[in-house]
Amino acid sequence: MRLIVRLRRFARAASGLAALEFALLAPMMLTLLFGSVETIDALGANRRVQNVAASLADVVARDNSVTDDEITGLWAAIDLLMFPEGGTDVGVAISSISIDEDLETEVVWSRANNEDYEPPEVTVPEGVLRAGTSVIVAQVTYRYNSPISFLIGDLGFDMSHTVYRRSRLVDPIPCEWDGCS
């Protein structure tokens, strides 16, 4: 009987209920908040990686020829295009690919923004090139690091994007720098 009375008294007691609810819900709410921030930041960084690839390929595809100064200017533009992430963790390679009459691809020239950057092998999907044409290929990779890594540890991952653009004026676009290859 005493046990039943105590249980009824415990069930009617409301003091501390808000604190208990907060203690149960706060971890889930904080996880949801930080997860949302992380997701939005990663999606924004991925959009900027795609923008860098598309912008660089488009600029080169509009040229009659590509000089060393133009390429240097493109590398400087990466910082602006990747803002606020910055361009130091971005690896970029721009290549001119041609296809001969036997549908064999050949790299006419290629440049990377960092001597240590090894771009992935250039593969041109079927239907992008026709015999006797060329395409500009921009390959961009970025190591994404979480803004909340101080809480959850390093969960960084690589983002990459490849863009193909047809030359608008000359085919293929020649390069004009020492050791052009």
User: Tens of pLDDT along 96-105?
Assistant: 888 887 777 8
User: Tens of pLDDT along 135-179?
Assistant: 899 999 998 887 776 666 677 788 999 999 988 888 788 888 776
The pLDDT value recorded for residue 134 is: 85
Four-CA torsion 147, 148, 154, 156, nearest 10 degrees: -40
Q: Comparing C-alpha atoms, which of 113, 112, 118 is closest to residue 158?
A: 118
Q: Whole-prediction pTM value?
A: 0.78
Q: Comparing C-alpha atoms, which of 47, 44, 41, 48 is closest to residue 148?
A: 41
Strand, helix or coil at 44?
A: helix
Name the least confident of 11-20, 43-52, 101-110: 11-20
What would the mean pLDDT of 27-55 be, rounded to a whole number? 91
